[in-house]
Amino acid sequence: MKQKRERERRRNQKKEEAISNQQLMGRVEELFTCGPELHVYGENNEIRWKIIGEYCQCGFCCRQFSIGKCYEVDFWIYDAQADPKTAKPVGNIHKVFKGFSELITDSDAFILTFPKKANPIERLMLCGSVIMIDYRYYEEMALCDCGNII
């Protein structure tokens, strides 16, 4: 029974890996929690950063009807060893409102503030997590995915 649950968890888990010259550089995994949560792993398969958002932001709840500041959403980056409930964020992924063009096109804009301790490969993985956030939460096909609560 335990193996069956583990297989089901792995099947539902969304992840992306970065490989260069047959060597794993890191990966980003989406966890299924009460809000968007992604874990960024480094080269040695250790968790480096936690990216946590909230569904209670207006940009998530009222995505189709939000304009201006109400359209913007924040995802906070925490050090993996810190408890996100008590620690301060070390970085940020901010979805910005681009004005009128946001209403007539499907393109999205994000601002990524890197943690100061992030090395170049971890920064690459954080850029990949922005692409994953865009696809998982802001593209029409992903919104219809049965695994999301959107």
What pLDDT shows up at residue 146? 45
Residue 144 has a CB neighbour count (10 Å cut-off) of 9
On the question of pLDDT at 142 being above 60, the answer is no
The model's pLDDT over 105-140, given as tens digits with 9 standing for 90+, comes to 777 889 999 999 998 889 989 999 999 888 887 776
Q: Alpha-carbon distance 72 to 94, whole Å? A: 7
The model's pLDDT over 31-72, given as tens digits with 9 standing for 90+, comes to 876 778 899 988 888 899 999 887 666 666 555 555 556 678
CA-based R_g, the chain, Å: 16
On the question of pLDDT at 148 being above 50, the answer is no
Which is higher by pLDDT, 110 or 144?
110
- In this prediction, residue 150 has a pLDDT band, given cuts at 50, 70 and 90, of very low
